Homo-oligomer: A and B are copies of this chain.
Amino acid sequence: MATYIEPRVLKGFRDSMPQAEIARKGLIDSIESSFKSFGFVPIDTPCLEYAEILLGKGGGETEKQVYRFKDNGGRDVALRYDLTVPFARFMAEHRAELPLPFKRYHIAKAWRGENTQRGRYREFIQCDFDIVGSPGPAADFEILLVLKNTLEPICGGGVKIHFNHRGLFNRFLARLGLTDKSVEVLRTVDKLAKIGTQQTLDLLAVNAGDKANQIINYIEAKGTFEERLGLMTEAAGGSCPESECLARIYSFMKDTGSQDSFILDPSITRGLDYYTGIVYETLLNDMPEIGSVGSGGRYDNLVGLYTKPNSAEQVGGVGASIGIDRLIAALESLGRLNEKATYSMAAIACVREEDAGLGQALAGKLRKEGIPCEVFADAAKLPKQYMLAEKKGIKWLIIPGENSFTGGAGSAVSDSGTFTVRDLSARDNRELKAAELVQFLNSQKNSG
């Protein structure tokens, strides 16, 4: 009757298999716990919005990549391509309902029809967190601290967060008479780590002429935090609000004993135009070559586009984005990704199909102790059930004996009957009574 349709997904899209999804969810749980502990709250926005809302500022590259279409009501709509633009619209719309400063996080999918040859996906997860309405260095520092405290436990070997201040850089460029060229210069500087000193110098010369060397000296400043800040402040024409902001952030780092995870790096500029204050990128100590896994900065006004021209309303903020897909790739390469294919710690084998209810009753006792446990429903030879449990990655298989289950409501498990408990990794059996079994698995909860 039915015509055959080949099962396949669109280019640049993927299914997430259980093992990958368990790893991803574990990572996201850990990130969310950290956000929550700092008092960030979650929001959500629609995946689909008016195209004019999403593309108002856009044009160029972005516009070409966006999934945009007419809906059945003839509206010009698009799938969100990031979480920043919808957040701007959200803040403009709900500003009056939210006490400032407002600290939100949003972990959700976005879509771009990018060239998939670069190993990019067209559907991806964004993970953003921001503090809006708190203009001082304390909020800047909090975002940096959240980045560090969130990523370090996940990554193992520690992180190095490179930070800089765009405003200070701009003062330096102004002194060089290069204010007009600042966008081009900042974009070139951003490439230093990727293309090296000589090529950066050549590219800088195009816009900065004979001042290219001074810029290189600036962005390659070495030494302690104080030494670097000293050089940068001097180049900017002396102490100024931006240099004081950096000094204050550093004193906060020392107050929390976190300074070793941070490095003042004048070559960090971030490509995006909207940053106006501090900017930062996060490298993994064990795999810096994979690039930044957490980046962001301070921006002056989030809601401009959605605020009436004469409105005094401005909402500035500071935020960062954690690159979940890149983080997963790094952890996988480092062999540190949780590779579980199951949440179950134990399974109850099926010896007689009519015992499934009693099996569930026993499993219920384990679940109450916080031991995830499944019940095999289909009778099959035991070696086949061993194999199924192993394939699923379950460590303990509980095999009911002749008299393990007495049957009958309420008295699910006999006190005298024993169960064989098989350790599937060690291929090793032990005989335990029901009460001992619960106790034993409880004691194994945190091992392996």
Contact = CB atoms under 8 A, between A and B. Distances in A.
A14 B361 CA distance: 42
Given A10-B71, A17-B43, 7 more contacts: A4-B306, A38-B374, A48-B123, A73-B113, A99-B391, A252-B360, A256-B360
Copies of this chain assembled into the complex: 2
Interface string A24-59: 110000000000111111111111111011001100
Contacts of A10: 46, 48-50, 71, 75, 77
Contacts of A109: 47
Contacts of A135: 378
Interface string A417-428: 000000000000
Nearest to A36: B343
A137 B77 CA distance: 46
Contacts of A378: 101, 134-136, 138
A154 interface: no
Interface stretch (A164-172, A283-291, A351-359, A430-438): A351-359
A7 interface: yes
A270 interface: no
A139 B378 CA distance: 9
Given A15-B46, A373-B39, A92 B7 contact: yes
A361 B9 contact: no
Contacts of A101: 377-378
24 contacts: A2-B56, A2-B304, A5-B56, A6-B306, A7-B92, A7-B303, A9-B46, A15-B44, A18-B43, A18-B104, A21-B44, A38-B373, A39-B347, A47-B109, A64-B72, A65-B72, A99-B391, A138-B350, A139-B377, A142-B377, A248-B354, A252-B357, A255-B412, A256-B364
Contacts of A329: none
A376 to B, nearest CB: 8
A89 interface: yes
B372 A36 contact: yes
A394 B41 CA distance: 12
Interface string A88-106: 0110111001110101100
B7 A306 contact: yes
